C-alpha cells in the first residue's frame, strides 16, 4: 500500500496574528471567526480595518468586517494602507483596535490578520493568549439586530497622522533643500501610492519609481532581500540616484541601496538608524537575537546598552516598553522601530532618518556605511518536520560544547569566532539559520557546519 504523502499545514497562529495560504487553510469563515473573537475581546466600538494589495485582500476585508459587525463593532475601512500607517491611525483616532489584512513579506498566496490593540500595538502575550482561547472556545458575542453597527469607508488621507509623526523627527526643510534623487521599488504593495507622495511632496525628492501600481501582482519576491533587488540596483545606477529604497507589500520592512546600486545589509541599515537617533534621544536599544553585533558596537559609541528579545516585532516592542528604549528593531528583516514615531516597524521612519543624516553630513550613503564595524553574516532556511526539532537542537548544542548558549528563541550559540542562531520561523514551516563572524570564511564555515548537523 503506497505511503500517504505528508500534508503540510499552512495555517499558523503566531506572535503577530493568524496567517496562512488562502483557500484551503486561511478561509473567509476562519477570518470572520477571528474577527468576531477580536470584536468580542475589545468589547465593541470602532475597529479599523486596512490591507495590502494582495488579490485576497478585498475578500478578507468583507469577511473581517462581517465578523466585527456580528460582535457589535463599528468598522472603519481605510482601504489599502501601509501597516505602520494603520497602527498610527488606530491610536490617533482612539479606536478600540485594528486589523491589518496582510501577510507582509510572505509570498502572494499567503494572507494574514495582524491584530492591534487600542494603542495601535501588537497584542502582548497575555492579550494574545486570551484572544486565541476565545477563538477556540467560540464564545463570541452575537450582537442583536438593534446592536449591529455599520461600516464607514475613510476616504481622507489616512496615512497623514503617521507621516506627520515621521516628519516631526527629522529636519524636513534640510532634506528638501538637498533635492535628493531617490529610486524606489514599492513591489506594487501598500506603499505604491503613499511612498512616492511622501518622498516627492513631503521631502522634496526627485523620485524614480518602479512597481508602484497597486492593481498589479508583486513583480518580485515579497521580502526585499538583496538578491531579489536587481531591478532597484539597476534603477539607481541608470538614474544616478543618491539612494534607493525597497519595501515589502505592507510597507513596514525597508531595504536600502547606496549610490552605486549596492544593497546594504539590513543590519547595517538599522545600525545607521541607531547611530542617527541615539545622540538625540535617551534610552537603550532593543533588537532580536538574530540582529548583528554591529548594533552593540554602535550603541557603545554612545554609552548605551543593547537588550535582545526573541524574533518578532511584538517581542521587540514588549522589550522596548520594558526598558523605555530610544530605538529598536530587527536588522535581520529590515525593521526599524522608533517609539518617538510609534512602536511599530516602519520603513518611512527609516527613509527619513537616512535622508536626514545624508543632508546633515553631506556624505554619500556608501561613506556613511563605511563608518560601521565590519561583520559578515550568512542566513538560510530549511524545511523541518514537526517532532524533529528538539533532537536537531540537541545535536547542534552538543557539537559546540564551549559555546555560550541562549535558548530564549530556538538556540543561539555564541563562540569566540562568532555566533550561530537556529530557530523555527514565526510565519512558515521553516527552520531559519543565521551565522555571523568578523570575516567571511568563518561565517561560511559556521553556516556550513550547521547545515551538516541538520542534514
Among 49, 23, 166, residue whose Cα is nearest residue 101:
49
Among 313, 378, 312, residue whose Cα is nearest residue 345:
313
Residue 165 phi, psi (nearest 5): -65, -40
Identify the active-site residue in 56, 65, 85, 104: 104
Look up residue 34 and give its DSSP letter: H
CA dist 164 → 151, 212, 242, 341 (Å) = 26, 22, 24, 9
CA dist 131 → 38, 61, 121 (Å) = 7, 20, 15
Q: Which residues pair with 142 in a beta bridge?
A: none
The residue whose grid cell reads 496574528 is 17
* C-alpha torsion angle, residues 175, 181, 186, 191 (rounded to 10): 30
CA atoms within 13 A on the CB side of 191: 32
Query: How far apart are the C-alpha atoms of 88 and 66, rounded to whole Å?
Result: 24
104 is catalytic: yes
Beta-carbon count within 10 A of 248 CB: 33
Q: Which residues pair with 263 in a beta bridge?
A: 257
Query: How far apart are the C-alpha atoms of 256 and 220, rounded to whole Å?
Result: 16
Look up residue 145 and give its DSSP letter: G
Query: How far apart are the C-alpha atoms of 298 and 306, rounded to whole Å?
Result: 10
Residue 1 · residue 8 · CB < 8 Å:
no
Among 172, 174, 154, residue whose Cα is nearest residue 85:
154
Active site residues: 104
Amino acid at each position: 500500500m503506497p505511503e500517504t504523502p505528508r500534508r503540510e499545514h499552512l495555517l499558523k497562529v503566531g506572535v503577530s496574528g493568524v496567517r496562512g495560504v488562502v483557500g484551503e487553510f486561511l478561509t473567509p469563515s476562519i477570518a470572520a471567526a477571528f474577527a468576531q473573537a477580536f470584536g468580542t475581546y475589545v468589547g465593541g466600538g470602532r475597529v479599523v480595518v486596512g490591507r495590502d494589495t494582495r488579490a485576497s485582500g478585498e475578500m478578507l476585508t468583507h469577511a473581517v468586517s462581517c465578523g466585527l459587525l456580528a460582535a457589535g463593532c463599528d468598522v472603519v475601512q481605510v482601504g489599502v494602507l501601509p501597516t505602520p500607517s494603520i497602527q498610527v491611525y488606530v491610536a490617533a483616532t482612539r479606536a478600540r483596535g485594528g486589523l491589518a489584512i496582510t501577510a507582509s513579506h510572505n509570498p502572494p498566496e499567503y494572507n494574514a490578520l495582524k491584530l492591534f490593540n487600542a494603542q495601535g500595538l501588537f497584542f502582548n502575550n497575555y492579550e494574545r493568549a486570551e484572544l486565541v482561547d476565545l477563538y477556540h472556545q467560540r464564545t463570541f458575542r452575537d450582537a442583536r439586530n438593534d446592536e449591529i453597527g455599520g461600516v464607514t469607508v475613510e476616504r481622507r488621507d489616512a496615512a497623514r497622522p503617521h507621516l506627520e509623526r515621521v516628519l516631526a523627527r527629522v529636519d524636513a526643510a534640510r532634506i528638501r533643500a538637498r533635492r535628493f534623487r531617490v529610486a524606489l521599488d514599492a513591489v506594487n504593495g501598500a506603499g505604491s501610492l503613499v511612498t512616492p507622495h511622501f518622498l516627492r511632496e513631503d521631502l522634496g525628492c526627485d523620485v524614480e519609481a518602479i512597481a508602484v501600481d497597486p492593481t498589479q501582482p508583486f513583480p518580485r519576491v515579497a521580502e526585499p532581500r538583496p538578491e531579489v533587488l536587481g531591478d532597484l540596483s539597476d534603477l539607481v545606477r541608470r538614474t544616478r540616484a543618491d539612494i534607493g529604497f525597497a519595501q515589502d507589500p505592507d510597507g513596514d520592512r525597508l531595504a536600502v541601496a547606496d549610490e552605486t546600486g549596492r544593497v546594504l545589509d539590513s543590519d547595517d541599515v538599522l545600525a545607521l538608524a541607531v547611530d542617527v537617533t541615539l545622540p538625540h534621544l535617551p534610552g537603550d536599544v532593543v533588537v532580536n537575537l538574530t540582529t548583528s553585533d554591529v548594533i552593540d558596537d554602535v550603541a557603545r559609541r554612545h554609552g548605551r546598552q543593547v537588550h535582545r528579545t526573541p524574533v518578532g516585532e511584538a517581542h521587540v516592542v514588549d522589550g522596548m516598553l520594558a526598558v523605555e528604549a530610544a530605538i529598536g528593531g530587527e536588522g535581520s528583516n529590515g525593521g526599524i522601530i522608533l517609539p518617538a514615531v510609534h512602536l511599530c516597524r516602519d520603513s518611512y521612519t527609516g527613509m527619513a532618518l537616512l535622508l536626514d543624516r545624508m543632508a546633515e553630513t553631506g556624505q554619500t550613503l556608501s561613506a556613511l556605511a563605511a563608518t560601521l564595524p565590519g561583520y559578515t553574516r550568512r542566513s538560510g532556511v530549511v524545511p523541518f518536520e514537526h517532532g524533529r526539532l528538539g533532537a536537531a537542537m540537541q545535536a547542534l548544542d552538543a557539537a559546540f560544547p564551549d559555546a555560550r548558549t541562549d535558548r530564549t528563541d530556538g538556540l543561539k550559540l555564541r563562540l569566540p569566532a562568532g555566533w550561530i542562531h537556529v530557530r523555527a520561523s514565526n510565519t512558515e514551516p521553516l527552520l531559519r539559520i543565521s551565522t555571523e563572524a568578523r570575516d567571511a570564511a568563518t561565517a561560511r564555515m559556521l553556516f556550513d557546519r550547521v547545515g551538516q548537523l541538520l542534514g
